[in-house]
Amino acid sequence: MRGLLKWKSVGHAGTLDPAATGLLIVLFGDATRRATEFSSLPKEYCGTIRLGMETATDDLEGEIIAEAPVACDESAIRTALAKLTGDIEQVPPAYSAVKVAGKRSYKLARAGRAVELPARRVSLYHFDLIGYRAPELEFRVQCSAGTYIRSVARDLGRDLGCGGTLAALRRTAIGPYRVEQALDLSEIQRRRAEFAAS
């Protein structure tokens, strides 16, 4: 974005996991000073959780560390979703950007060091089941800033007794800003070229 739009000062308000898609707020110039304001807004995600397995990274990018048969029905899933709705204590994934003694947790985990992160309080305002075809369930969640959806997938699977990991994730909203209003990089490039040619 910096090279494309020729802005010296460019920042963003909250990262996405490498395998995730969706909305990212990009800030330019003096607006970069407002990054904390935007990153602290609540988020909305849609995604897929695969039951019956746990991975080292709590998503499909990591090594499988446990597997179990999936025997739950929609009723059990809805009960488990309700348990995770509201204010909860959540342990971030070991493979996350949380700092431990000044170092990123994921760097320690990749080096083979055991990482124990303290639980933090987060809020899931809505956690809805969109569809279920074992072993995968589709969900929509609205949550506070700082919530790890990979941890939500892991904890849901544990509550159901079969394990769970995040299979797909898309951020659909940040506060009042929705992904439907956003421009992808190809559209920004097209508009930039049209502007340069005019």
Instruction: Report the alpha-carbon distance of residue 68 to residue 59 in Å, rounded.
Output: 16
Give the pLDDT confidence score for residue 107 in this predicted structure: 76
Q: Where are the beta strands (DSSP E) in the chain?
A: 10-12, 21-22, 26-28, 43-51, 53-55, 64-67, 86-90, 99-100, 103-104, 120-133, 136-143, 164-174, 177-178
Please check whether residue 91 is in contact with residue 122, taking contact to mean a CB–CB distance below 8 angstroms.
no
Give the pLDDT confidence score for residue 144 in this predicted structure: 97
Length of the chain: 198
Give the pLDDT confidence score for residue 146 in this predicted structure: 92
Pairing of strands 43-51, 21-22: unpaired
pLDDT tens digits in sequence order for the chain, 198 residues long = 888 888 889 999 888 888 899 999 999 999 999 999 999 999 999 999 999 999 999 999 999 999 999 999 999 999 999 999 999 999 988 877 777 767 777 777 777 777 778 899 999 999 999 999 999 999 999 999 999 999 999 999 999 999 999 999 999 999 999 999 999 989 989 988 888 887
Instruction: Report the alpha-carbon distance of residue 133 to residue 46 in Å, rounded.
Output: 16
Side chain identity, residue 85: T
Cis status of the peptide bond prior to 118, with omega within 30 of 0: no
Q: Which of 17, 58, 59, 155 is catalytic?
A: 17
Structure tokens at 95: 């493979």
pTM of the complete model beyond 0.85: yes
Give the pLDDT confidence score for residue 149 in this predicted structure: 97
Is 17 assigned a catalytic role?
yes
Instruction: Report the alpha-carbon distance of residue 67 to residue 162 in Å, rounded.
Output: 7
Side chain identity, residue 30: D
